């Protein structure tokens, strides 16, 4: 006999593990097994390699110009032990970007595997397609697909490509209810050595969290705000939720000056 929990009706309001019930002094077997499955999915999300070929094919089919790079972390084990190596490009990748005949984009996208390649594989392209509604020339922006990547890797990529802004889409650390959350980081005037105070972050992008359309709206407001202010980070506030319902930032060309 499983003793029900009085909070059961609240389960529909959250993905958190509440109102699990009990069997004697322990959890029901089904909940123990469900926890084990979620833990395994979180671990798999960290270690599963990004399918770079499939991701690049999807971006090419959507009309984006892409390049693939790697960080200084040679493999997943090194990546997890040395976060600093995940923040810098491998020498060959840096040289490749320096000779890339990409358009001098004012905005560059870096698609990184991070701590959940599953999130990057599933959500990065749909998010960019949602963002394209705000910027007529979005498909002209260079897209760099990075493996063994940390957020700050985007600073070096943006610096090498002469970007005014860089947007890093990267898999977030998995949770026991969200193994595929995508994070968005916007950084103005990217260069090696910046701290997180120079960035704006949008978190938990996925259909079960922050939907693509809402994440794209927030990112569009931040890009527009960064263009007006001339910088990002702690000086740039996300006031998109304070706007009138349905209000959108005015579309503008990303090739315009920062």
56, two tokens: 């690049």
Q: In what order do the strands lie in the sheet with 107-112?
A: 66-70, 143-147, 107-112, 165-171, 182-188, 199-205
Residue the block writes with tokens 């020339």: 137
Q: Does residue 141 have a known ligand-binding role?
A: no
Quote the DSSP letter at residue 243. Answer: S
Q: Does residue 31 have a known ligand-binding role?
A: no
Q: Does residue 201 have a known ligand-binding role?
A: yes
* Closest CA relative to residue 22, chosen from 6, 11, 9, 42: 6
Distance (Å, rounded) from C-alpha 183 to C-alpha 123?
Answer: 10
119, two tokens: 């999130």
| Residues that constitute the known binding site | 151, 172, 201
| Residues that constitute the known binding site for adenosylcob(III)alamin | 151, 172, 201
């Amino acid at each position: 006999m499983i003793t029900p929990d009085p909070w059961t009706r609240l389960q529909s309001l959250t993905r958190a593990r509440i109102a699990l019930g009990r069997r004697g002094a322990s959890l029901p077997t089904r909940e123990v097994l469900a926890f084990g499955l979620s833990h395994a999915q979180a671990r798999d999300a960290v270690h599963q390699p990004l399918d770079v070929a499939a991701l690049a094919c999807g971006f090419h089919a959507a009309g984006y110009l892409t390049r693939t790079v790697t960080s200084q972390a040679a493999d997943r084990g090194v990546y997890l032990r040395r976060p600093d190596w995940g923040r810098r490009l491998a020498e060959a990748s840096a040289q490749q970007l320096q000779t890339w005949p990409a358009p001098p984009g004012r905005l560059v996208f870096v698609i990184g595997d991070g701590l959940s390649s599953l999130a990057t594989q599933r959500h990065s392209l749909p998010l960019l397609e949602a963002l394209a509604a705000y910027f007529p020339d979005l498909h002209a922006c260079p897209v760099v697909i990075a493996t063994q990547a940390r957020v700050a890797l985007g600073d070096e990529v943006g610096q090498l490509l002469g970007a005014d802004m860089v947007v890093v889409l990267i898999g977030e650390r998995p949770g026991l209810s969200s193994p595929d959350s995508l994070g968005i980081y916007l950084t103005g005037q990217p260069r090696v050595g910046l701290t997180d105070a120079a960035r704006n972050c949008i978190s938990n992008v996925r259909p079960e969290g922050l939907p693509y359309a809402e994440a794209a709206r927030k990112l569009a407001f931040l890009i527009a705000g960064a263009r007006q202010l001339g910088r990002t980070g702690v000086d740039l506030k996300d006031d998109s939720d304070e706007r009138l319902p349905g209000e959108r930032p005015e579309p503008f060309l990303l090739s315009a000056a920062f």
